């Protein structure tokens, strides 16, 4: 695995995925993800990048799409493979780094990256987005979330943190934020989306107050 030094959060999530249960929030697909998937052509080739325990990969495969689930955490890949087998679903599972995707150019019609690409510094984010652009076919779509800079004051009020490089923070205590996380505003995010035309970009909290994330939908330019 070609791992960059700040791309380390999968170590936390590997342990977390070994303990996750079917009823956890991480097992429930996001409505926006499913709504967009319903607009894709039947049998679309989809990459679920940072697939976790497979909440989206499994649901997308059940819709009839051709799904590849990729994660850097071994426990993630094992959980998805087991769940796919139990449900009789054909899902390709790949353990690999998001900064070095093991796929040919223009492989996928759609790439999903929900709560994953911001796990690292700006170099990790930039490299990952370039890889996403490379493996998405022209006219294909990209749906993702990114950590908003609006969330940073909330995190700093909760725990002691330090900025280790531009827009990249680590925090003391428990949880995955002991690993580097990238927080961005809209101009910074748009400047990183080489090769894409952004259709939708909005900032909102997730399930907790103050948990601001950017939500974006973009199309790969030809």
Q: Is residue 18 part of a domain?
A: no
In the chain, which ranges are continuous DSSP H helix? 10-17, 31-38, 55-62, 74-87, 122-135, 152-158, 186-192
Residue 84 lies in a domain: yes
Question: Considering the domain boundaries, does residue 2 fall inside one?
Answer: no
What average pLDDT does this structure show over 90-110?
Answer: 98
Banded model confidence at residue 22, pLDDT cuts 50, 70, 90 = low
Residue 140: count of CB within 10 angstroms of its CB: 24
Residue 22 belongs to a domain = no
Q: Is residue 99 a part of any domain in this protein?
A: yes
- 42, part of any domain: yes
Residue 140 lies in a domain: yes
DSSP, collapsed to helix, strand or coil, labels residue 56 as: helix
Q: Write down the pLDDT at residue 3.
A: 42
Domain that holds residue 113: 29-220
Q: Is the pLDDT of residue 1 over 50?
A: no
Burial label for 186, CB within 10 Å (0-12, 13-18, 19+), is: middle
Provide the pLDDT for residue 147.
98
Domain containing 110 — which CATH number?
3.40.50.150
Domains of the chain: total: 1
Q: Is residue 7 part of a domain?
A: no
Q: Which pLDDT value is given to residue 193?
A: 96
pLDDT at 20 over 80: no
Decide if 191 contacts 180 (C-beta within 8 A): no
C-alpha 113/C-alpha 143 separation (Å) is 6
Between CA 168 and CA 67 the distance in angstroms is: 31
> What pLDDT sits at residue 189?
97
Strands 45-49 and 108-113: parallel
At 15, the pLDDT band (50, 70, 90 cuts) reads confident
Range with the poorest average pLDDT among 5-9, 29-33, 65-69, 71-75? 5-9
Mean pLDDT of 67-94: 97
- pLDDT by residue (tens digit) across 111-147? 999 999 999 999 999 999 999 999 999 999 999 999 9
Measured CA angle at 198 (ends 127, 182), to 5 deg: 40
């Amino acid at each position: 695995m070609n791992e960059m030094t700040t791309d380390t959060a999968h170590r936390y999530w590997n342990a977390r995925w070994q303990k996750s249960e079917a009823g956890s929030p991480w097992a429930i697909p996001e409505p926006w993800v499913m709504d967009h998937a319903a607009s894709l052509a039947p049998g679309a080739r989809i990459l679920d990048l940072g697939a976790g325990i497979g909440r989206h990969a499994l649901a997308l495969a059940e819709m009839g799409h051709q799904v590849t689930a990729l994660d850097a955490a071994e426990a993630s890949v094992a959980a998805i493979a087991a769940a796919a087998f139990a449900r009789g679903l054909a899902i390709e599972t790949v353990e690999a780094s998001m900064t070095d995707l093991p796929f040919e150019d223009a492989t996928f019609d759609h790439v999903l990256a929900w709560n994953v690409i911001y796990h690292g510094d700006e170099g990790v984010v930039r490299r990952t987005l370039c890889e996403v652009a490379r493996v998405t076919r022209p006219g294909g779509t990209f749906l993702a979330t990114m950590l908003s800079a609006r969330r940073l004051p909330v995190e700093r009020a909760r725990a002691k943190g330090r900025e280790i490089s531009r827009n990249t923070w680590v925090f003391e205590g428990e949880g995955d934020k002991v690993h580097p996380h990238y927080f961005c505003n809209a101009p910074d995010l748009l400047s990183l989306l080489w090769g894409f035309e952004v259709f939708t970009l909005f900032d909102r909290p997730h399930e907790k107050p103050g948990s601001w994330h950017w939500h974006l939908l973009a199309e790969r330019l030809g």
